Amino acid sequence: MSDHLVFLLLGLANGAVFASLALALVVTYRSSGVVNFATSAIALFGSYAFAYFRQGELLVLVPGLPAKIDLGWEFPLLLAIVAALAMAAALGLLLYGLIFRPLREAPAVAKAVASVGVLVVMTGIMAVRLGTRPVPVDDVLPSGIWVVGGVRVASDRIWFALTVVLVAVLLWALYRFTPFGLATRAAAETERGAYLSGLSPDRLAALNWMLSAAVAGAAGILIAPIVPLVPLAYSLFIVPALAAAILGRFQYMIPAVIGGLAIGMLQSDMQFLVASYDWLPSSGMPELIPLALILVVLVVRATPLPSRGAVVQRTLGSAPRPDRRVNGLGVAGVVGAAAGLVLLDGSWRTALIMTFIFSMLSLSYVVVTGYAGQVSLAQLTLAGSAGFLLGPIAEHLGFPFPLAPLVAALGAAVIGVVVGLPALRIRGLPVAVVTLGLALVLETMWFRNTDLVGAAGVEIAAPSLFGLDLSSGTGAEFPRREFGVMVFVVLIVVAFAVSFLRTSRLGSEMLAVRANERSAAAAGVSVVRTKVLAFAIGSFIAGLGGTMFGYRLGSVTFDSFTVLLGLSLLATSYIVGITSVTGGLLAGLGAIGGLGAEVLETWFGGADYFETIIGVALIVAIVRRPEGVVGFMMARFGQSRRRAEREAPDGRLAGAGAVTGIEPRAGSPLRLELHEVTVRYGGVTAVDGVSFSVEAGTVVGLIGPNGAGKTTLVDAVTGFAPSSGSVVLAGEALDGLRPHERAHRGLGRTFQAIELYDDLSVRENVVVGQAAARARGDEPPEVGDVLSNLGLTPVADRHAAELSQGQRQLVAMARAMVGSPGVLLLDEPAGGLDSTESIWLGERIRAVADSGVAVLLIDHDMHLVLGLCDQIQVLDFGRLIASGTPEEIRGDPAVAAAYLGDTQAVLAEEGSEQ
Amino acid sequence: MSTTSMSMWRKLLAVVAVMSLVAAACGGDDDEASSPATTAAAPAADDTDAEAPGEAEGEDESADDAPESTESDAEDAASSDAAEASPQEASDGPIKVGFVSDGRSDAIDNSAETPAAQAAAAYVNEHLGGVAGRPIELITCETHQTPAGAQDCVAELASAGVIAILNGVSGQGETLSAQANEAGIPYVTNGGLSQAIFNAPLSFVIGNGLGALVGPAAVAAENGLTQAGIIVIDVPAAVDPVRQAAPLFYGNVGVRADVTAIAPGTPDMTPQVQAAISKGAQQFAIIGDETFCTSAMQAIQTLGFEGETIVVRTCIGDASIAEADVEGVRVISGTSDDPNDAEVALYNSVMSEHGAVIDPSAHVGYSVVLAWARAMAGHGDGEVTPTSVVETMIAMEPALLPIGPDGATFQCNRMAVAIAPAICAAGIAIYTLDENGVGTGTSFLDLTDVLTLGGG
């Protein structure tokens, strides 16, 4: 038997560990939309419960009660398993009721962070109550030794792998064939659907949580005989388990299990390769395997996680636009911090400086996650990379002080861009998982690799500027005040820069990308460039923080920058508020070693449950305020101020009347031609060989029953849907161009679902659209003029979220128009308008066309379409069934046949009015 | 926030340090003729469950590690014993001594370390007349198991004006040592496996920090092996010194060392162990914490490996309940577990007198404080400064090793181990576990041949 086969076989047990946890992750995600970082803690709970039942004891985790109750009878194996699974299921129910039910409409990130809180709390409680010594666990599966190809293999490990596969198959069958499973799948599609079908989504979710916790518990029981049972035993399995879950797209249990097994087996074989070939890095190679698999699956297939359709979906907290760069609060903070530097000493000054450093790291989260919406779990690792770079940059490359940390931070920025590259193809939580994997690889292959970094770490030379010693000092003089001042100055500069970024065009584009990548691209924003810049800037800031941390320590080692600590950095940043500079600055207070910790330690020190209390605070904060504490306070503050300053928003569109001058469009008129445009999704042909053209200065209507393919056609024209055939603009084929490139050529569009950026003001929403004109080298129309033409001036500074439906339509139009498009595609602009408003809107659209723009209009408002359009194209089942003037269409029997019901009545009515 | 749950790596570091320390603490260079009983085996488990050990013959070919002092060791030991027996109240104001612990977290529980140190300090004040004629007052600090926390501790203690920083054992030993040395304060620890600490002029390692590494090499040489495997937890503080030093020390006795680093959190280690076996390992030494060692031993047994397995004492924790089958496993140990040994009896009585909990972290907390006080026995009643502390420690006569086997001594003259001046104890004890996890057949390993820079 070849060595490789032997090692693949030996890796089966590790694979089964990952597979079993991946299975639990998938079951949880499928039913609740939670990427549950606490899965390993639930598994651990199950195995502790099992181990104690076998010893005749009942595990009690409630603080204050005895840790174990003697039952006076050692449970037999099967009963112990059943009892432990029941306890795990009860835990699942508890977690659902207390935490995840209140969070079921929260953003996926909030749920994931809450699960980190659960992990912290459970691990803490188990450590305090059960101790850190391993608890012995009896064999669960038949153990023995099989000799395979001359190598001894423990039979229980093979049985373990088979059991995991069996459990996966049973679960698959459960979800596939039972009414419970069908109902769960229906609820996962849409919560509303579940309501309509008479099921209680609540009860379903509770059952699913119990089931998924039991699956995790079962994983724990199976793992326990292999892995010594201590409170942190399973915490490091989460990365390969996540990788395996991603292989199953968090949906498919059997692929996830196979993925987990494959990871363990390939890691084992990699171990053999590392042992056989000296040139392979001695550290980190096995960790590359889950990452490589994640990358292949996510980046190559570029499949986003299916997100759950809850009735309401909240977004991340809003990223408020700072009214003034320096406000009272900011001044007070600066003065307070400066006074602290002067007045505090000893451990209090240390804590203050750590607060500054972690504020910087949190600000990097504000840019990457708060502004650009990319969830990175690698920010602390990136900070560490700058710290590790700083030593050699100063020592070997000879960069002097102020330059060396900047160059190191630039290095971190470059690495950050690499870490962020997968985010160019994928979105949301998968980005988080990839960054977690990359962070782990950086940690193992670099920070912990003794080929590169010795046990003593990388020495950092003391900083000095113009002869002024800025080092942190040692002994009694640590931390030197000069060092604190340096960190403080850097922090202030960073804070101003991040605040400036928020109000800059790039900042608006980031928020546009965060809010909606599709509409950002339609507005001409290059999503790729924006994301890359966000990762670069965020990583640069993290890098600066890392160099400051490095200067503080004097030499950096891996243990200040571990992946697991990085998780807690995200959690702190998230609770305090990840979307604003204020939040970022205040998050430093909650950092490890920061002022908050110092206060707690000084006044409440020594409590066994200290960590647990912090974890509970995290969970409570998220459940109560998913948008973060600062976001919540700001919203309160903002509301009352707004009420005081302004009248209640007027949802009405500006009064009817003549359209005031819309400037003729600059540049040559463009003609849009469609030649045999066809869109196929799988076996379905959504648009079938459509050809027509739209001339500058005219309005062409596109109508058809629901599902006729109207929006798909617009998506194909603007590059959002892959199509065959040809789209020609001003004689030039656009085929193969990406959406923002088409926007640059002069295609502007709005979306049926009005994809506005709710966190941005109306003006900011519209400014983003100028990107298209600017990319062409044209001077874009003044935002103020466009707003005024569309009657939006009175609401220009309001958040888009505050507007009425009609006003939102107009903002979407304004955003398209400031890109100075030659062709404007409007997808149901009159949705949500009453008839007066609709007429008013029609006048504006006509004025836009008259300024030299070709307009393609989709709408169900037949009064608007028939009254406004020069030409009408009628689509049904993806094919053009009629085209002509409004009069011709009205009389066309094919159109009447396609439209049944209300619309037909309208057509008839329109006809009779004529 | 979630500091503790995030401290897996730090824990591992800490435990690595613990192991090497516990492995080390056995002072080697006793006059074997005078103390055959010191080689008695001790049960590996709790002191309290210890059964009376058989009086095994020490197979002692040792060892003048500290050549100049050999003759006088026994007498010195005896005299210091006598001194400790007569209670003697300390006078004058207390001298401030720093004591650093990693404390407790989800990963590691050293919470018994500081109380044990306090108990030892009380004993020193009540029965030894304090240090330099004055009582000692411990100023305590916890590292939270981070480099930054260790840095904070040294700064705080320096601000408090301590004249020495003591530490049972810490995963942050390198930082503590570096920071204390920079601050000009002596750093005294029970153990560690760091080249940087071994060479730091103001640092002292009471036990033989290299024992964990060198002991198995000596065993391999004894058994006439040519190739030996070392399974080490993949954290830099452990891997780096092992990778650097193992080939040298094993090479000194003609054994080829093959280092296998395994990432913490590897559930099943059979692939790595199989790879090492395939490369020809004839014995295995394991360097890691209890969890790590258990997995490694399970893998070795699963694969049916026939050679010796050598672990450090903390590797096996409570051997009587260990998951792996420990019979025949050889253990390198610092402290004696034989309640009949005088030092063990003293430890037990001091701990019970002060109501302190006995566990491995208590061992090291107690040991370092008492060892330091004994090392300071030669300090006159003059002013105690960091400099006078260092001078006194270097000039010390051999003293009894706290909780050591009868007669085991240490001497911090920076010559006990030539290549690692900070190490104070030169020898190492080893015993074999029986089917109940009880140690039998304790012997002392002569490390002199191995602990040289080549050629030995």
End-to-end Cα separation, chain B, in angstroms: 51
Which residues 155-214 of A are in CB contact (within 8 Å) with B?
Answer: 157
Number of CB atoms found within 10 A of residue B75's CB: 13
Instruction: Name the E strands within A7-112.
Output: 57-59, 68-70
Q: What is the pLDDT of residues B327-361, one digit of tens each?
A: 888 888 777 767 778 888 999 999 999 888 877 77
- Which residue on chain A is closest to B292 by alpha carbon? A228
Give me chain A's average pLDDT, please.
82
Q: How far is A424 from chain B (nearest CA, A)?
A: 30
Instruction: Tell me whether residue A762 is in a domain.
Output: yes
Residue in B147, B237, B294 nearest the CB of A553: B147
**Spatial contact of B289 and B263, defined as CB atoms under 8 Å apart:** no
Cα Rg of chain B (Å, integer): 20
Which residues 183-242 of B are in CB contact (within 8 Å) with A?
Answer: 183-185, 194-196, 234-241
Number of CB atoms found within 10 A of residue A139's CB: 15
3-state helix, strand, coil in chain B (%, to 5): 40, 15, 45
Q: Is residue A642 over pLDDT 70?
A: no
Distance CA A131, CA A230 (A): 8
* Shared-domain flag, residues A344 and A216: no
Distance CA A165, CA A173 (A): 12
Q: Which pLDDT value is given to residue A205?
A: 86
Stretch among A321-325, A439-443, A555-559, A568-572 having the lowest mean pLDDT: A321-325
**Spatial contact of A77 and A138, defined as CB atoms under 8 Å apart:** yes
Q: Which two tokens stand for residue A141?
A: 């599966």
Stretch among A245-254, A385-394, A565-574, A636-645 having the lowest mean pLDDT: A636-645
Q: What are phi and psi of A555, to 5 degrees?
A: -150, 140
* Shared-domain flag, residues A18 and A79: yes
Residue in B1, B105, B317 nearest the CB of A572: B1
**Spatial contact of A460 and A448, defined as CB atoms under 8 Å apart:** no
What's the CATH code of the domain at A441?
A: 1.10.3470
Distance CA A698, CA A238 (A): 58
Stretch among A518-532, A679-693, B82-96, B244-258 having the lowest mean pLDDT: B82-96
**Spatial contact of A92 and A210, defined as CB atoms under 8 Å apart:** yes
Q: What is the pLDDT of residues A4-37, one digit of tens each?
A: 888 888 889 899 999 999 999 999 888 788 889 8
Q: Which pLDDT value is given to residue B30?
A: 34
Q: Which pLDDT value is given to residue B29?
A: 34
Of A720, A670, A687, A278, nearest in space to A523 by CA:
A720
Note whether A228 contacts B323, CB cutoff 8 Å: yes
- Which residue on chain A is closest to B105 by alpha carbon? A127
Q: Which CATH number fits domain B211-337+430-445: 3.30.420.10, 3.40.50.2300, 1.10.10.60, 3.40.50.970?
A: 3.40.50.2300
User: Which residues on adjacent β-strands are paired with residue B34?
Assistant: none
The sign one gets for the Cα dihedral B148, A234, A119, B108 is: negative
Q: What is the pLDDT of residues A514-536, one digit of tens each?
A: 877 777 888 888 888 999 999 99
End-of-domain residue from the set A571, A605, A639: A605
Q: How confident is the model at residue B62 (pLDDT cuts 50, 70, 90)?
A: very low
Q: Which pLDDT value is given to residue A321?
A: 67
Give me chain B's average pLDDT, please.
77
Q: What percent of chain B lies above the pLDDT cut of 90?
A: 34
Q: What is the rounded average pLDDT of the residues A202-230?
A: 89
Q: Is residue A445 over pLDDT 90?
A: no
Cα Rg of chain A (Å, integer): 30
Grouping H, G, I as helix, E, B as strand and the rest as coil, residue A482 is: helix
Q: How confident is the model at residue A212 (pLDDT cuts 50, 70, 90)?
A: very high
Contacts of A639 (CB under 8 A, 6+ apart): none
Contact with chain B for residue A272, Cβ under 8 A: yes
Residue type, B450: V
Residues of chain B neighbouring A283 (CB-CB closer than 8 A):
234, 239, 261
Distance CA B28, CA B408 (A): 6
Residue in B5, B175, B182 nearest the CB of A120: B5
Q: Which pLDDT value is given to residue B33?
A: 32
Grouping H, G, I as helix, E, B as strand and the rest as coil, residue A686 is: strand
- Which residue on chain B is closest to A613 by alpha carbon? B1
Contact with chain A for residue B142, Cβ under 8 A: no
Residues of chain B neighbouring A137 (CB-CB closer than 8 A):
323
Distance CA A266, CA A263 (A): 5
Q: What is the rounded average pLDDT of the residues A42-58?
A: 92
Contact with chain B for residue A226, Cβ under 8 A: yes
Q: What is the rounded average pLDDT of the residues A58-70?
A: 82
Q: How far is B255 from chain A (nearest CA, A)?
A: 19
Question: Mean pLDDT: which of A45-54, A642-651, A779-788 is highest?
Answer: A45-54
Q: Which pLDDT value is given to residue B137?
A: 95
Question: Mean pLDDT: which of A460-469, A714-723, B378-387 is highest?
Answer: B378-387
Number of CB atoms found within 10 A of residue B278's CB: 15
Q: What is the pLDDT of residues A267-294, one digit of tens each?
A: 988 888 887 887 887 777 888 888 888 7
Q: What is the pLDDT of residues A788-837, one digit of tens each?
A: 888 888 888 887 777 877 788 888 888 888 888 889 999 888 877 788 88
* Residue B45 per-residue DSSP state: S
* Shared-domain flag, residues A164 and A229: yes
User: Which residues on adjacent β-strands are paired with residue A609?
Assistant: none
Q: Which two tokens stand for residue A642?
A: 């707004």
The total of structural domains in chain A comes to 3
Q: How confident is the model at residue A662 (pLDDT cuts 50, 70, 90)?
A: low
End-to-end Cα separation, chain A, in angstroms: 87
Q: Which helix (H) or strand (E) holds A808?
A: helix A805-817
Grouping H, G, I as helix, E, B as strand and the rest as coil, residue A843 is: helix
Grouping H, G, I as helix, E, B as strand and the rest as coil, residue A386 is: helix
Q: Is residue A299 over pLDDT 70?
A: no
Number of CB atoms found within 10 A of residue A552's CB: 28
Q: Is residue A645 over pLDDT 60?
A: no
Q: What percent of chain A lies above the pLDDT cut of 70?
A: 87
Helix axes A429-442, A379-395, angle to 10 degrees: 30
Q: What is the dihedral of CA A629, A631, A632, A635, to 10 degrees?
A: 160
Note whether B152 contacts A134, CB cutoff 8 Å: no
* Shared-domain flag, residues A254 and A359: no
* Shared-domain flag, residues A567 and A437: yes
Residues of chain B neighbouring A362 (CB-CB closer than 8 A):
none
* Shared-domain flag, residues A225 and A351: no
Q: Is residue A469 over pLDDT 70?
A: yes
Question: Mean pLDDT: which of A189-193, A464-468, A539-543, B18-22 is highest?
Answer: A539-543
Q: Which pLDDT value is given to residue B318?
A: 60
Q: How far is A532 from chain B (nearest CA, A)?
A: 30
Which residues 153-182 of B are in CB contact (within 8 Å) with A?
Answer: 154-156, 158-159, 161, 171, 174-175, 178-179, 182
What's the CATH code of the domain at A696?
A: 3.40.50.300
Q: Which pLDDT value is given to residue B285?
A: 95
Q: Which two tokens stand for residue A179?
A: 């009414």
Residues of chain B neighbouring A478 (CB-CB closer than 8 A):
151, 154-155, 158, 179
Q: Which pLDDT value is given to residue A358?
A: 93
Residues of chain B neighbouring A286 (CB-CB closer than 8 A):
263
Q: Is residue B184 over pLDDT 60?
A: yes
The total number of residues shown for chain B amounts to 456
Q: Do domains B84-208+338-426 and B211-337+430-445 have the same CATH topology?
A: yes
End-of-domain residue from the set A605, A626, A656: A605
Grouping H, G, I as helix, E, B as strand and the rest as coil, residue A214 is: helix
Q: What is the rounded average pLDDT of the residues A134-142?
A: 82
Stretch among A53-57, A419-423, B273-277 having the lowest mean pLDDT: A419-423
Q: Which domain does A542 fall in, by range?
A: 328-605
Please determine, looking at this structure, whether the domain spanning B84-208+338-426 carries the CATH number 1.20.1050.90. no
**Spatial contact of B377 and B83, defined as CB atoms under 8 Å apart:** yes
Which residues 570-589 of A are in CB contact (within 8 Å) with B?
Answer: 571-572
Note whether B155 contacts A271, CB cutoff 8 Å: no
Contacts of A432 (CB under 8 A, 6+ apart): A35, A109, A112, A375, A376, A377
Note whether A354 contacts B158, CB cutoff 8 Å: no
Residues of chain B neighbouring A576 (CB-CB closer than 8 A):
none
Q: What is the pLDDT of residues A591-614, one digit of tens each?
A: 777 887 777 777 766 545 656 766
Residue of B6, B143, B159 to mutate when probing chain A, most A C-beta within 10 A: B6
Q: Which pLDDT value is given to residue A171?
A: 93
Instruction: Tell me whether residue A690 is in a domain.
Output: yes
Contact with chain A for residue B317, Cβ under 8 A: yes
* Shared-domain flag, residues A36 and A152: yes
Q: How far is A421 from chain B (nearest CA, A)?
A: 27
Q: How confident is the model at residue B40 (pLDDT cuts 50, 70, 90)?
A: very low
Q: Is residue A228 over pLDDT 50?
A: yes
Q: Which pLDDT value is given to residue B169?
A: 85
Q: Is residue A229 over pLDDT 90?
A: no
Q: What is the rounded average pLDDT of the residues A384-391?
A: 94
Instruction: Tell me whether residue A633 is in a domain.
Output: no
* Residue A857 per-residue DSSP state: E
Residue in A124, A151, A282 nearest the CB of B5: A124
Q: What percent of chain A lies above the pLDDT cut of 90?
A: 23
Q: Which pLDDT value is given to residue B245?
A: 86
Q: Is residue B132 over pLDDT 70?
A: yes
Stretch among A133-142, A335-344, A685-694, B155-164 having the lowest mean pLDDT: A133-142
Residues of chain A neighbouring B263 (CB-CB closer than 8 A):
286-287, 444
* Shared-domain flag, residues A268 and A140: yes
End-of-domain residue from the set A301, A319, A339: A301
Grouping H, G, I as helix, E, B as strand and the rest as coil, residue B181 is: helix
Distance CA A32, CA A188 (A): 8
Note whether A235 contacts B5, CB cutoff 8 Å: yes
Q: Is residue A89 over pLDDT 90?
A: yes
Burial grade of A285 (CB within 10 A; 0-12, 13-18, 19 or more): middle
Note whether B302 contacts A151, CB cutoff 8 Å: no
Residues of chain B neighbouring A235 (CB-CB closer than 8 A):
5, 8, 265
Residue of A4, A8, A10, A152 to mutate when probing chain B, most B C-beta within 10 A: A10
Q: What is the rounded average pLDDT of the residues B276-304?
A: 88
Give the β-pairing of B399-400 and A871-876: unpaired
Give the β-pairing of B330-333 and A555-556: unpaired
Q: Is B144 left (phi over 0), alpha (psi -120 to 50) or beta?
A: left
Distance CA A754, CA A809 (A): 6
Note whether A474 contacts B183, CB cutoff 8 Å: yes
Higher pLDDT, B418 or B50: B418
Number of CB atoms found within 10 A of residue A728's CB: 15
Query: Helices marked H in B172-210 — which ranges?
Result: 173-182, 195-199
- Which residue on chain A is closest to B174 by alpha carbon? A456
Q: Which helix (H) or strand (E) holds A701?
A: strand A699-703
Q: Is residue B435 over pLDDT 70?
A: yes
- Which residue on chain A is closest to B241 by alpha carbon? A455
Q: How far is A653 from chain B (nearest CA, A)?
A: 49
Mapped to the 3 state alphabet, what secondary structure does B366-418 carry? Answer: HHHHHHHHHHCCCCCCCCCCHHHHHHHHHCCCCEECCCCCCCCEECCCCCCCC
Distance CA A650, CA A789 (A): 17
The sign one gets for the Cα dihedral A86, A91, A94, A96 is: negative
- Which residue on chain A is closest to B239 by alpha carbon? A450
Q: Which pLDDT value is given to residue A583?
A: 84
Residues of chain B neighbouring A558 (CB-CB closer than 8 A):
9, 235-236
Q: How confident is the model at residue A85 (pLDDT cuts 50, 70, 90)?
A: very high
* Shared-domain flag, residues A777 and A876: yes
**Spatial contact of B156 and B169, defined as CB atoms under 8 Å apart:** no
Residues of chain B neighbouring A358 (CB-CB closer than 8 A):
none
Q: Is residue B3 over pLDDT 70?
A: no
Q: Which two tokens stand for residue A547?
A: 């160099």
Q: Which pLDDT value is given to residue A308?
A: 39
Tell me the CA distances in angstroms from A743 to A340, A427, A525, A666, one per residue in order: 52, 22, 9, 16
Q: Which two tokens stand for residue A5?
A: 């086969």
Tell me the CA distances in angstroms from A576 to A514, A581, A591, A886, one per residue in order: 19, 11, 11, 57
Q: Is residue A838 over pLDDT 90?
A: no
Residues of chain B neighbouring A346 (CB-CB closer than 8 A):
155-156, 159
Q: Is residue A632 over pLDDT 60?
A: yes
Q: Which pLDDT value is given to residue A444?
A: 84
Higher pLDDT, B388 or B45: B388
Q: What is the rounded average pLDDT of the residues A205-224?
A: 92
Q: What are phi and psi of A318, to 5 degrees?
A: -70, 150
Q: How confident is the model at residue A650 (pLDDT cuts 50, 70, 90)?
A: low
Residue type, A835: S
Distance CA B157, CA B162 (A): 6
Residue of A474, A598, A619 to mutate when probing chain B, most B C-beta within 10 A: A474
* Shared-domain flag, residues A292 and A335: no
* Shared-domain flag, residues A695 and A546: no
Higher pLDDT, A805 or A749: A749
Higher pLDDT, B167 or A177: B167
Query: Helices marked H in A554-688 — which ranges?
Result: 563-576, 581-587, 595-604, 610-624, 629-645
* Shared-domain flag, residues A345 and A288: no
Residues of chain A neighbouring B108 (CB-CB closer than 8 A):
132
Stretch among B122-126, B194-198, B405-409 having the lowest mean pLDDT: B405-409
Angle, alpha carbons B23-B451-A456 (nearest 5°)? 70
User: Domain residue spans in chain B?
Assistant: 84-208+338-426, 211-337+430-445
Q: Is residue A787 over pLDDT 80?
A: yes
Which residues 235-264 of A are in CB contact (within 8 Å) with B?
Answer: 235-237, 264
Q: How far is A455 from chain B (nearest CA, A)?
A: 5
**Spatial contact of A373 and A514, defined as CB atoms under 8 Å apart:** yes
Higher pLDDT, B324 or A794: A794
Q: Which two tokens stand for residue B306?
A: 């026939």
Which single residue is written with the structure tokens 């390992």? Answer: B281
Which residues 33-92 of B are in CB contact (within 8 Å) with A?
Answer: none
Q: Is A251 left (phi over 0), alpha (psi -120 to 50) or beta?
A: alpha
For chains A and B, count residue pairs whose Cβ atoms are closer than 8 Å: 258
Q: Which pLDDT value is given to residue B240?
A: 85
